[in-house]
């Protein structure tokens, strides 16, 4: 699987955007300015082929596809980049799983090329990035109860969700803030994710609840080993476990193609 895109930003200072075209002038370096790593986990994009697609025929002639007749759609998968496309007979395709905007466009063009090789007159048009999901882990815990009381933009319902929902109008983004210091950002662009983290950091820093809790992985490992040891005595030696093998991804050229003429 492709490694996630990592963006580094500091408080009041935005780091490199990894080729996304957002490079503001850096501010003078300050002492004790923490650097935060923002991981881009999922980029959702959509485009249209401008032609009707016979999903049943595509499922029979292509590979790494799943045809769901009851839903009137089909899943197509690629290994590089590791993405999944939802294909409808109208020609609309939604691509998920990419970990950068550049990889999302490469995957979208690969899906279009793959369908074009089956004889359809595909036109790659109406491409746009629909949604970007990013995560950031702060070096301290957050008192989300006090934070939600002090900010009217925050919505906290502990009976429904363990985190605080905070919506930013400019730049447009929705944040999920957890007491452990983890923040999940949903935004229409990668640059909005960076700006949202830079915006929210000074607000949550005032509600610092101390260092992040450390998980005791050693004790958990010992418990797992003990449970496994007990289970081995209970299970019969004739029981077998089947391993699931991963599917083979198809390699499709990502070079530009003519939208009018099908290429082999």
pLDDT of 52-86, one tens digit each? 999 999 999 999 999 999 999 999 999 999 999 99
Please check whether residue 220 lies inside any domain of the structure.
Answer: no
Please check whether residue 219 lies inside any domain of the structure.
Answer: no
Evaluate whether 185 touches 9 at the Cβ level (below 8 Å). Answer: no
Instruction: Supply the pLDDT for residue 20.
Output: 44
Q: Give me the CATH number covering residue 44.
A: 3.30.310.10
Please check whether residue 86 lies inside any domain of the structure.
Answer: yes
Instruction: Supply the pLDDT for residue 212.
Output: 77
- pLDDT band of residue 9 (cuts 50, 70, 90) is low
Q: For residue 248, which of 84, 78, 86, 104 has the smallest C-alpha distance? A: 78
Examine the pLDDT at 33 and tell me if it is beyond 90.
no
Which stretches within 30-73 are classed as H helix?
Answer: 55-61
Query: Which residues have CB under 8 Å from 244's CB, separation 6+?
Result: none
Q: What is the pLDDT of residues 171-199, one digit of tens each?
A: 899 999 999 999 999 999 999 999 999 99
Rounded to an integer, the average pLDDT of 232-245 is 42
How many separate domains does the chain show? 1
Instruction: Supply the pLDDT for residue 7.
Output: 66
Domain of 206 in residue numbering reads as 5-211
Q: What is the pLDDT of residues 106-127, one digit of tens each?
A: 999 999 999 999 999 999 999 9
Least confident of 121-130, 202-211, 229-238: 229-238
Q: Is the pTM of this model over 0.85?
A: no
- Mapped onto helix, strand or coil, the DSSP state of residue 164 is strand
């Amino acid at each position: 699987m492709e490694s996630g895109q990592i963006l580094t930003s500091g408080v009041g200072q935005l780091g490199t955007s990894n080729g996304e075209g957002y490079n503001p002038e850096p501010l003078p370096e300050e002492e004790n300015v923490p650097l935060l790593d923002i991981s881009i986990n999922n980029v959702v994009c959509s485009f249209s082929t401008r032609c009707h697609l016979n999903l049943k025929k595509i499922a029979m002639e292509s590979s790494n596809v799943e045809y769901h007749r009851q839903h009137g759609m089909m899943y197509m998968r690629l290994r590089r980049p590791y993405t999944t496309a939802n294909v409808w007979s109208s020609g609309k395709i939604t691509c998920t799983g990419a970990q950068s905007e550049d990889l999302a466009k490469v995957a979208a063009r690969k899906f279009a090329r793959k369908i074009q090789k089956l004889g359809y007159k595909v036109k790659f048009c109406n491409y746009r990035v629909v949604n970007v999901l990013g995560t950031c882990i702060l070096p301290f815990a957050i008192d989300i109860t006090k934070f939600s009381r002090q900010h009217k933009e925050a919505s906290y319902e502990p009976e429904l969700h363990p985190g605080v929902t905070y919506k930013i109008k400019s730049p447009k983004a929705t944040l999920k803030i957890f007491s452990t210091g983890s923040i999940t950002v949903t935004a229409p662009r990668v640059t909005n994710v960076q700006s949202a983290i830079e915006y929210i950091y000074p607000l949550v820093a005032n509600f610092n609840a101390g260092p992040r809790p450390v998980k005791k992985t050693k004790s958990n490992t010992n418990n797992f080993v003990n449970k496994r040891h007990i289970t081995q005595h209970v299970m019969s030696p004739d029981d077998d476990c089947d391993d699931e093998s991963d599917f083979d991804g198809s390699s499709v050229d990502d070079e530009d193609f003519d939208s009018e003429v099908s290429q082999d």
